[in-house]
Amino acid sequence: MKKCIKVISMAIAILVLAGCANQSPKPELSENSLKESGMKLSIPKAGDVGKTATNKSGRTTSSKVVTNKEKKLLEGLTICIDAGHGKTTKSTNKKEPIAPNSKILKAAVASGTSGVYTKISEESLNLTISEKLKKELSDKGAKIIMIRETSKCDLTNVERTKLWNSSGADFTIRIHGNGINDSKVSGVLMMVPGDKYIKDKDMLSKSAQAGQYILAGVLKYTKAKSRGTVKSTDLTGFNWSKIPVVLLEMGFMTNPQEDKLLSTDSYQNKIVAGIVEGVEKYQSYLMKVKTE
């Protein structure tokens, strides 16, 4: 009997061991095993948080919100910057017509003024601010054409104007410092073309509009005295121009206090900021005109 029980127990043990040996281990869940089985494993990437997207099953998954880069405000606008004057090898006695077909002659080149206190030349001041303006306008998306980028410039007034006429620029900003035989006079002056020689009403209108915006911007940032806007008919650089053009007289270098201000980096930056704001408003004006 005991022998019989022992045989039965051994048989049961053998059956149990056989059953355990036939069981296969559960496979680990992996991306490769799922691909092989035809299933898809969605693994969220780092940063894919915040945006919901719908997959094929209709369920939503989380991903990052992506926005388009903001378009630069002055993109598509080409601006010519004319830093007034410059050192020249040409004779200051040379003259050229004040306007096409005009018999009135005017000096082809001029040396400009200088700071009564700082002794800085106007050509140097004009170039410094023009270079700063170039950078700021470029950063806003504008394409910039410079009449000069060094202290030397052998172009006459007519040649400068012909250069920006053929450059593809939308309009020109002429940068100047002012001077007068009265050290008490100060302030910012804007000059725009008059209609004595220019018959293009659209050019005259756009020039006046650009001048208005730029003067307002410069006055806003500098808090300088306004000398207003003058429509000039005797500037060669206006009368030969075929595109809108303005001339900013940034301040009087013959005024000791204003001369000191014009030489400081902070005041120059204010002038540039004002011009840029004016250009932005002028660009908005142009876009509005196109849609009307």
With respect to residue 276, please indicate whether it lies within any of the assigned structural domains: yes
Question: What is residue 63's predicted lDDT score, i.e. its pLDDT?
Answer: 40
Q: Which domain holds residue 85?
A: 78-291
Distances in Å between the Cα of 151 and the Cα atoms of 53, 70, 159, 208, 224 are: 59, 37, 17, 29, 27
**Residue 272, amino acid:** V
Tens of pLDDT, residues 91-129: 778 999 999 999 999 999 998 999 999 999 999 999 999
* Cα separation, 173 vs 282, whole angstroms: 12
Give a yes or no: residue 220 inside a domain. yes
d(CA 108, CA 91): 9
Residue 190 within a domain: yes
- Residue 5, CA distances (Å) to 8, 10, 18, 76 in order: 5, 9, 20, 101
106 and 98 in contact (C-beta within 8 Å)?
A: yes
Q: 230: part of which helix (H) or strand (E)?
A: strand 226-232
Instruction: Name the pairing type of β-strands 245-252 and 188-193.
Output: antiparallel
Domain count, the chain: 1
Residue 98, in any domain of the structure: yes
Of residues 283, 194, 285, the one with CA closest to residue 237: 194
In a domain, 42, yes or no: no
Q: What is the CATH number of the domain that holds 146?
A: 3.40.630.40
Percentage of the chain modeled with pLDDT above 90:
70
Q: Is the dihedral of CA 44, 47, 48, 49 positive or negative?
A: positive
Distance (Å, rounded) from C-alpha 144 to C-alpha 14? 93
Question: Is 283 inside a domain boundary?
Answer: yes
Under 8 Å between Cβ of 115 and 259: yes
Q: Is 36 inside any structural domain?
A: no
The two counts, helices (H) then strands (E), for the chain are 8, 10
Strand pairing partners for 152?
Answer: 87
pLDDT in tens, 36-75: 333 333 333 333 333 334 444 444 444 434 344 456 899 9
pLDDT digits over 221-245, tens only? 999 999 999 999 999 999 999 999 9
